[in-house]
Amino acid sequence: MTLSTHIRLVDPLPPERVFQFCQTLLGDPDTMLWEHKESYAGQGTMMYANRSGQGYAAMLWVAYHPDGPLPKEDDPDYEDNRPTACIDIMFDTTYGYTGPHSSGCADLHAWLIIRIVNDLLSQYVTPGAPPTWPRFYWQNEFTGEWFDSLENLDSFGDAKKGALR
């Protein structure tokens, strides 16, 4: 069993740049094997993905649609409650993960969320831009809830404990 955490970026950002930034959180991007291909979701959605079996703390996928926001699920038997977004970042870590500081997978994912929001998204804030840009959502897989701020992150995991560096 694994913990899958989604971080959805509402505003259009360069997907390859987002992927490369996320890779740096997990290790050295120059040594990582990865691929760029059509997403399993279909509908023209593309993704960057680290290949499995490389020993990193989490698997990484970055999905995007080249023509705008990611399409909603078209299966009538599936209720798609995901917020509309241009990019979906997903980290996947085994529940048995133990990292530095005796951290677990939720602690690691809380740290990844904070780094994406504080380090990656801050690069795209322009002087005079509305304070809501760039917008993001993250999902607590344990409850299924989506959040548009870091306010509830401590109920998900301990980001300080989950830090890889």
The pLDDT value given to residue 78:
67
Across 26-35, 72-81, 135-144, least confident range:
72-81
Residue 47 has pLDDT above 90, yes or no: yes
pTM: 0.91
Instruction: Sheet with 2-9: list strands edge to edge.
Output: 34-38, 46-50, 59-64, 87-94, 2-9, 136-140, 145-147
Across 4-8, 77-81, 96-100, 138-142, least confident range:
77-81
Structure tokens at 44: 């023209």
Beta pairing class for 136-140 and 59-64? unpaired
The pLDDT value given to residue 40:
85
Instruction: Give the CA count within 13 Å in the CB-facing half-sphere of 146.
Output: 15
The pLDDT value given to residue 125:
66
The pLDDT value given to residue 50:
97
* Cα distances (Å, whole numbers) of residue 117 to 33, 120, 136, 156: 25, 6, 8, 16
Residue 127 has pLDDT above 70, yes or no: no
Q: What is the mean pLDDT of residues 42-58?
A: 94
Cα distance between residue 32 and residue 159, in whole Å: 24
* Cα distances (Å, whole numbers) of residue 107 to 26, 82, 95: 14, 23, 11
